């Protein structure tokens, strides 16, 4: 029986296991869509027809019926003069007669056959296109790569730079309008600019009979989190993050109240999301927190509140009100081509924060990545620096390498002007911090290689408003530096921007210009527009080992080399002079660099450091950052204001001038020792203070009782034996005790009263004292003193009278009742 039971149990277990296997077997044998090999419709290194004449072949060049017999033929990859030896060029094409004005666009066509066209549910494109491209199939546009939206100008450069086309970019096209039989793919490839050194093109087209992979439902984890300025730096912040699936765009935040966050009762704000370009994939999310408290630290997390999927908690801080001084870190061009190279920027920033631990934000002047259409590079940038970027506010400018189809805007959320153009290429915005106002320009937003007129108008209005609102310093930051010393110094677009912006900066009174792009260290002389200011006309001060120019006027320009891996060598000083570039210091130390920057109401302090971030991680952990350059500016505006305040004091001092003289002294005392030296009439203030003291010594003001301390009453004299009181009389009238004289009573002079004889009142010991006549003045001055309270004798008399009165009242009432009722 036991064996039978055991067998039955085993049989039952076997049935259950089989059923489980049958249930789950279909899922184990599912073939994922990505595992299905596609059909190669156009192979890599195929033969292509191409047009390299520098002219536009006409509107129908992309159509299947277009006659391309006059076009040349060649095997991919096609191009010329590759900078990178890894790039294999099978067909060299022409760039024209002028190497500085190469043809802007090249056109490629290929015909290929498709059988059972309807079966292809999706198509992938593997593309090499240096720098930008647009792709058509059978005359219909299917993809733009690093090319702006809107009408395409096939006679102009794209202004967008790609990485060297060593690898093919994988691009999902979705469903493509194939037809049965012959099909045509047509591609236009754009140069960034006329002086670009190379162009490369090749493509592969693959069709798939299965639909695209559905992203798993659990892919809602936030990544690539950035905290940005968004409008008012005291009360607002911007947040951006990415997810693989379309998810909620929720931010939760709560004030820091301990070492660990508690999001119970946290504020929740819902933002917006949008699909990224197919080359990047996934979704970006943007939200702004408003109505924050100034000078406050907050815990926050981002994610999807419905699915309860959140990022790890991190912190942000709002600016304090009335900030008088602050620090920040300045870096540029972190772009890299591997995760290791992005780790160098992370190491550089961490070293900077170790030396400037009170830095309140990072200012980065562009080219955060090398290829902004690469999801891997954005992942490396944020992956290596996510802890910093989650817990530090970043103010970034858009670089030319960041300008792929909205990629900058989708990674950093800034409050740009509503009428801004070319947002797909980047953004421009401004913010206040302490005594400084920052304007972050977008040098990808160009019109005929100069800054777009809309952006230029905004810059002028914004700077003037900031000055009117009391900004002590105006700072401009952007990517494509107009004063630099390396290879970009002579680029046509840089020369155009220099001619446009340098006079505008001088007109607006810009103080400091922070730049990038040219990957070499540079600090300019003080510039009056495009003219250097003679150094022998500028006063000097020394503070904290830094030489400060005193009220130099004009602008100073900076490029902090790079925090990444690319280094450009400076050009010759003769070329610098020919280009109107006047360096105070320039060099290529071949090391990563950062600058610690400080502002107060009166001072700009700048220190640039080199750091070997490329060293092995164990070596760089203990490596020092070395001071490479320093500079500062001292403004004496407040000293000048005190000088004017002293000038306005009366020429001859009177006691009534005390308030204004002491106010001027307070203004002077509020200056530090260095600024006090620039109050040119401080001796006048000293003399007037001495005159005021002398006047105060000569005039002794009448003593007045302290209003807070009541006057003590006069202590009563000891009792004396009773005597016959003297009645006050006129001096010539003798008085006798037996015949008292009727005294004159104050009051109506026409009314005389004769008082009763004055009786002595007993004191506490039973002794009597003569009653004293009290004048009205004496009465009023002692109303609040203890002398007006009844004495013990007065109290006994009072109670005796009260008791007696009550007795009479009772007795009288009793009599009346007796009389009434005849008792």
- Report the CATH number that the domain containing residue 145 is assigned in CATH: 2.60.120.260
CA 201 to chain centre: 41
Cα separation, 321 vs 428, in Å, equals 25
CA neighbor of 518 nearest in space, from 533, 498, 546? 498
- According to the model, what pLDDT value does residue 619 have? 77
Residue 518 is classified by DSSP as: S
Is residue 94 very low, low, confident or very high in pLDDT (cuts 50, 70, 90)? very high
The residue with tokens 């191009």 is 79
In a domain, 405, yes or no: yes
Which tens digits make up the pLDDT trace of 155-203?
A: 999 887 766 677 888 888 888 989 999 999 999 999 988 988 889 999 9
Q: State whether 466 and 576 are in the same domain.
A: yes
Contact 581, 483 (CB under 8 A): yes
In the numeric block, which tokens belong to residue 226?
A: 């950035």
Count of domains forming the chain: 4
Mean pLDDT of 83-87: 72
Helix (H, G, I), strand (E, B) or coil at 119: helix
Q: State whether 596 and 651 are in the same domain.
A: no
In a domain, 462, yes or no: yes
Percent of the chain with pLDDT over 70: 78
How many CB atoms are closer than 10 A to CB 750? 5
Q: State whether 351 and 442 are in the same domain.
A: yes
CA 252 to chain centre: 20
Strand partners, 474: 437
Contact 378, 411 (CB under 8 A): yes
Is residue 83 very low, low, confident or very high in pLDDT (cuts 50, 70, 90)? low
**Which residues fall within 8 angstroms of residue 282, CB to CB, at 6 or more apart?**
242, 243, 244, 245, 275, 276, 375
CA neighbor of 199 nearest in space, from 59, 54, 320? 54
Is residue 24 very low, low, confident or very high in pLDDT (cuts 50, 70, 90)? very low
Q: State whether 575 and 545 are in the same domain.
A: yes
Pairwise pLDDT comparison (165 vs 73), residue with the higher score? 73
Cα separation, 398 vs 407, in Å, equals 10
Which tens digits make up the pLDDT trace of 485-498?
A: 999 999 999 999 99
Contact 634, 538 (CB under 8 A): no
Pairwise pLDDT comparison (543 vs 168), residue with the higher score? 543
Mean pLDDT of 519-526: 98
Beta strand pairing call for 250-255 and 267-270: antiparallel
Give me the chain's average pLDDT, please: 84
In the numeric block, which tokens belong to residue 369?
A: 């990545």
Cα separation, 445 vs 428, in Å, equals 9
Which tens digits make up the pLDDT trace of 338-380?
A: 999 999 999 999 999 999 999 999 999 999 999 999 999 999 9
Cα separation, 326 vs 358, in Å, equals 8
CA distances from 306 to 42, 120, 303, 309 (A): 45, 36, 9, 8
* CATH number (domain holding residue 282): 2.60.40.380
The residue with tokens 């209003």 is 707
Is residue 313 very low, low, confident or very high in pLDDT (cuts 50, 70, 90)? very high
- What are the percentages of helix, strand and coil residues in the chain, rounded to 5? 25, 25, 45
In a domain, 729, yes or no: no
Of 656, 677, 698, the domain-final residue = 698
In the numeric block, which tokens belong to residue 500?
A: 């446009």
In a domain, 19, yes or no: no
Cα separation, 205 vs 346, in Å, equals 38
Mean pLDDT of 245-268: 93
Which tens digits make up the pLDDT trace of 781-818?
A: 334 444 444 444 444 555 555 555 665 566 556 555 45
Q: State whether 519 and 386 are in the same domain.
A: yes
Pairwise pLDDT comparison (368 vs 16), residue with the higher score? 368
Residue 555 is classified by DSSP as: B
For residues 394, 399, 401 and 404, what is the CA-based torsion angle, rounded to 10 degrees?
A: 80
Whether the per-residue pLDDT at 746 is higher than 60: the answer is no
In a domain, 450, yes or no: yes
Beta strand pairing call for 132-137 and 626-634: unpaired
- According to the model, what pLDDT value does residue 507 have? 98
Pairwise pLDDT comparison (173 vs 57), residue with the higher score? 57
CA distances from 229 to 339, 416, 498 (A): 27, 11, 28
- According to the model, what pLDDT value does residue 713 have? 52
CA neighbor of 54 nearest in space, from 196, 243, 204, 194? 194
What's the residue count for the chain?
823
Q: State whether 45 and 93 are in the same domain.
A: yes
Strand partners, 630: 607
CA distances from 649 to 104, 427, 642, 666, 695 (A): 69, 51, 11, 14, 16
Give pairs for 739-746: CB < 8 Å, separation 24+: 743/773, 746/775, 746/776
Please state which of the ranges 449-458, 511-520, 575-584, 718-727 shows the lowest mean pLDDT. 718-727
Q: What is the pTM of this model?
A: 0.63
Cα separation, 720 vs 309, in Å, equals 97
- According to the model, what pLDDT value does residue 774 have? 35
Q: State whether 553 and 491 are in the same domain.
A: yes
Q: State whether 331 and 318 are in the same domain.
A: no
CA neighbor of 611 nearest in space, from 329, 327, 224? 329
CA neighbor of 187 nearest in space, from 82, 78, 87? 78
Whether the per-residue pLDDT at 21 is higher than 80: the answer is no
Q: State whether 272 and 318 are in the same domain.
A: yes
Is residue 34 very low, low, confident or very high in pLDDT (cuts 50, 70, 90)? very low
The residue with tokens 């991919």 is 76
Contact 184, 154 (CB under 8 A): no
Angle CA 561–569–346, to nearest 5? 30
- The domain of 300 spans 223-322
In the numeric block, which tokens belong to residue 203?
A: 């493509």
Residue 328 is classified by DSSP as: E
The residue with tokens 């090398």 is 370
CA neighbor of 188 nearest in space, from 231, 254, 150, 132? 132
CA distances from 775 to 704, 709, 761, 782, 787 (A): 22, 24, 19, 11, 15
- Where does 74-132 have alpha helices with state H? none
CA distances from 709 to 474, 705, 712, 762, 788 (A): 56, 7, 9, 32, 18
Of 322, 352, 378, the domain-final residue = 322
**Which residues fall within 8 angstroms of residue 99, CB to CB, at 6 or more apart?**
195
Cα separation, 400 vs 494, in Å, equals 13
Q: State whether 239 and 333 are in the same domain.
A: no
Beta strand pairing call for 237-243 and 223-228: antiparallel
CA 369 to chain centre: 21
Contact 94, 74 (CB under 8 A): no
Mean pLDDT of 556-564: 98
* CATH number (domain holding residue 503): 3.60.21.10
Please state which of the ranges 199-213, 400-414, 498-512, 707-721 shows the lowest mean pLDDT. 707-721
In a domain, 666, yes or no: yes
- Where does 430-491 have alpha helices with state H? 453-468
Whether the per-residue pLDDT at 22 is higher than 60: the answer is no
Q: State whether 138 and 179 are in the same domain.
A: yes
Please state which of the ranges 26-30, 603-607, 691-695 shows the lowest mean pLDDT. 26-30
In a domain, 148, yes or no: yes
Strand partners, 144: 134
Q: What is the CA radius of gyration of the chain?
A: 45
What is the phi-psi region of residue 629: left when phi exceeds 0, alpha when psi lies from -120 to 50, beta otherwise? beta
CA distances from 67 to 124, 134, 180, 461 (A): 27, 20, 20, 53
Which tens digits make up the pLDDT trace of 609-667?
A: 999 998 876 777 778 999 999 999 999 999 999 999 999 999 999 999 999 999 999 99
Q: State whether 365 and 280 are in the same domain.
A: no
CA distances from 335 to 162, 372, 558, 565 (A): 12, 10, 19, 7
**Which residues fall within 8 angstroms of residue 518, CB to CB, at 6 or more apart?**
481, 484, 485, 486, 487, 488, 489, 559, 568
In a domain, 753, yes or no: no
Of 295, 322, 349, the domain-final residue = 322
Is residue 5 very low, low, confident or very high in pLDDT (cuts 50, 70, 90)? very low
Mean pLDDT of 548-570: 97
Mean pLDDT of 76-102: 87
The residue with tokens 């620039």 is 678
Pairwise pLDDT comparison (818 vs 279), residue with the higher score? 279
């Amino acid at each position: 029986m036991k064996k039978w039971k055991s067998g039955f149990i085993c049989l039952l277990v076997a049935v259950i296991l089989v059923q489980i296997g049958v249930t789950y077997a279909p899922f184990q044998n599912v073939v994922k869509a990505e595992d299905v090999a596609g059909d190669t419709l156009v192979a890599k290194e195929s033969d292509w027809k191409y047009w390299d004449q520098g002219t536009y072949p006409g509107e129908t060049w992309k159509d299947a019926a277009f006659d391309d017999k006059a076009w040349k033929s060649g095997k991919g990859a096609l191009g010329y003069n590759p900078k990178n030896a890894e790039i294999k060029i099978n067909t060299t094409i022409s760039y024209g007669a002028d190497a500085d004005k190469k043809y802007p666009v090249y056109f490629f066509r290929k015909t290929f056959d498709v059988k059972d066209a309807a079966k292809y549910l999706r198509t992938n494109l593997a593309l090499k296109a240096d720098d930008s491209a647009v792709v058509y199939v059978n005359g219909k546009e299917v993809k733009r790569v690093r090319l702006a939206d809107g009408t395409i100008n096939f006679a102009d450069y794209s202004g967008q730079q790609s990485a060297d086309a060593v690898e093919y970019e994988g691009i999902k096209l979705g469903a493509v309008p194939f037809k049965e039989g012959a099909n045509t793919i047509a591609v236009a490839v754009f140069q960034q600019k006329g002086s670009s050194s190379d162009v490369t093109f090749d493509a592969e087209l693959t069709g798939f009979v299965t639909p695209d992979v559905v992203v798993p439902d659990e892919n809602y984890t936030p990544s690539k989190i950035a905290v940005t300025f968004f409008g008012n730096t005291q009360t607002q912040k911007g947040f951006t993050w990415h997810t693989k699936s379309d998810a909620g765009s929720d931010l939760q935040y709560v004030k820091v109240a301990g070492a660990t966050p508690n999001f119970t009762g946290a504020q929740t704000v819902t933002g917006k999301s949008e699909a990224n370009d197919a080359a990047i994939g996934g979704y970006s999310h943007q939200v702004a927190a408003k109505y924050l408290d100034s000078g406050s630290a907050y815990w926050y997390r981002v994610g999807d509140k419905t699915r309860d999927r959140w990022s790890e908690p991190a912190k942000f801080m709002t600016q304090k009100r009335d900030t008088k001084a602050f620090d920040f870190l300045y870096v540029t061009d972190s772009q890299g081509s591997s995760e290791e190279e992005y780790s160098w920027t992370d190491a550089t920033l961490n070293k900077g924060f170790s030396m400037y631990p009170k830095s309140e934000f990072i200012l980065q002047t562009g080219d955060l990545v090398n290829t902004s259409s690469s999801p891997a590079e954005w992942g490396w940038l944020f992956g290596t620096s996510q802890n910093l970027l989650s817990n530090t506010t970043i103010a970034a400018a858009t670089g030319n390498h960041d300008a792929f189809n909205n990629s900058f805007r989708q990674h950093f959320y800034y409050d740009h002007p509503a009428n801004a153009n070319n947002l797909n290429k980047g953004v421009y915005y401004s913010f206040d911090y302490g005594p400084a106002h920052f304007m972050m320009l977008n040098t990808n937003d160009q019109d005929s290689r100069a800054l777009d007129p809309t952006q230029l108008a905004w810059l002028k209005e914004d700077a003037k408003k900031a000055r009117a609102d009391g900004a002590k310093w105006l700072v401009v930051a952007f990517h494509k530096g107009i004063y630099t010393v390396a290879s970009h110094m002579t680029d046509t677009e840089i020369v155009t921007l220099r001619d446009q912006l340098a006079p505008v900066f001088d007109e607006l009174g810009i103080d400091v210009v922070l730049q990038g792009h040219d990957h070499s260290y540079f600090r300019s002389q003080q510039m009056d527009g495009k003219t250097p200011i003679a150094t022998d006309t500028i006063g000097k001060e020394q503070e904290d080992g830094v030489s400060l120019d005193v009220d130099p006027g004009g602008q100073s320009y900076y490029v902090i080399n790079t925090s990444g891996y690319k280094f450009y060598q400076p050009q010759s000083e003769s070329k610098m002079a020919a280009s109107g570039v006047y360096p105070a210091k320039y060099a290529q130390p071949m090391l990563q660099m950062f600058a610690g920057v400080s502002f107060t109401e009166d001072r700009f302090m700048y220190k640039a450091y080199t750091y070997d971030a490329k060293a092995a991680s164990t070596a760089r952990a203990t490596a020092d950052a070395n001071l490479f350059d320093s500079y500062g500016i001292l403004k004496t505006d407040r000293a000048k204001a005190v000088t004017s305040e002293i000038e306005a004091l009366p020429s001859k001092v009177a006691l009534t001038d005390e308030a204004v003289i002491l106010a001027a002294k307070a203004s002077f005392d509020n200056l530090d020792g260095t600024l006090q030296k620039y109050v040119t009439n401080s001796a006048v203030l000293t003399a007037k203070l001495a005159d005021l003291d002398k006047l105060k010594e000569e005039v002794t003001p009448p003593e007045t009782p302290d209003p807070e301390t009541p006057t003590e009453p006069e202590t009563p004299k000891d009792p004396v034996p009773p005597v016959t009181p003297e009645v006050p009389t006129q001096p010539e009238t003798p008085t006798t005790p037996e015949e008292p004289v009727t005294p004159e009573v104050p009051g109506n002079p026409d009314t005389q009263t004769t008082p009763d004889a004055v009786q002595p009142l007993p004191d506490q010991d039973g002794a009597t004292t003569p009653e004293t006549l009290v004048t009205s003045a004496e009465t009023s001055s002692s109303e609040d003193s203890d002398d007006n309270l009844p004495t013990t004798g007065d109290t006994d008399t009072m109670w005796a009278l009260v008791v007696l009165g009550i007795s009479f009242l009772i007795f009288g009432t009793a009599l009346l009742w007796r009389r009434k009722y005849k008792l």
